[in-house]
Amino acid sequence: MSRPPTYRGALPGPLAAVRRRTLLAWQTRPAPATVQMGGFDLLFEAGLPDPRPVLGFSMAAFLLDGLAVRAGERLLDLATGAGLTALWAGRIGAEVVAVDRGEAAARCLRRSSLIAGLGEPDVRIGGLDAVAGEQFDVITWLPPLVLEERSVVTNVLNAAPSLLRRGGRLVLPFADRDGVPWLHDAFAAAGLRFSAVRYADAPVLGPVRLYRAWPARHGPPGEVAAGDALSGTAWVLKDR
């Protein structure tokens, strides 16, 4: 099978519409009740974002490959979906709070967590309001592949500084075939320093980067070279 084309510039109108329909179909593919992924019997219902690889690439796996969470850290998994990130972090020993607006996500994560022997998960139905006033060492988020409004992203970025403990970081992958300068501007406007710590050239999606961001408490907000990026307890030690 030939490799689908990767698009790096602005797409012509008809081609962009085809790409959009393809990505929407990938996100909501009907799925069987049980999928083996990441060492888990992952249970999820039709309509939840599908974490399985498509043409050899999975945004969920891309996130986990660069997450580097540690045992004992408190992790917030936003829009948890089927809960793969929450399960993976829980197995390492992190204290996980999973949030999703859909009751299906809560049901599926609970079943998967019990089957994996991880006990009852702390899963909440809602959005950022479900964790108001709390703080975390790590926030993970898989943004929608197709954004209806950029405000979906900016709302999360703007909330991150108040939700992160000292030394905490936000980790998220983003498909950015056009370079998404608006995303970099949004990081800075939210008072975050950020760095692209991983890169992939995915079929159809095009370039995908894994971003790590943290509150700009020591230095101006904006992009930091990947080799200079510090996050997590490294910031705490550096400040001392």
pTM of the full predicted structure? Answer: 0.82
Give the span between the Cα atoms of 125 and 107, in whole angstroms.
Answer: 10
Q: What is the CATH number of the domain that holds 178?
A: 3.40.50.150
Residue 6 included in any domain: no
Domain that holds residue 231: 13-239
Give every residue of the chain whose pLDDT is below 50, as ranges. Answer: 1-13, 15, 32, 235-240
Residue 105: name the closest of 80, 130, 122 by CA: 80
Residue 3 included in any domain: no
Residue 110: name the closest of 100, 66, 240 by CA: 100
Residue 7 included in any domain: no
pLDDT digits (tens, 9 = 90+) for 202-236: 887 788 999 999 999 878 999 998 666 555 555 44
pLDDT at 89: 97
Residue 52 included in any domain: yes
Domain count, the chain: 1
pLDDT digits (tens, 9 = 90+) for 13-43: 454 555 555 555 555 555 546 778 888 988 8
Residue 129 included in any domain: yes
Is residue 116 within 8 A of residue 40, CB to CB? The reply is yes
Residue 213 included in any domain: yes
pLDDT at 113: 95
* 198 three-state secondary structure: strand
Give the span between the Cα atoms of 228 and 11, in whole angstroms.
Answer: 34
Residue 4 included in any domain: no
pLDDT at 231: 55
Residue 1 included in any domain: no
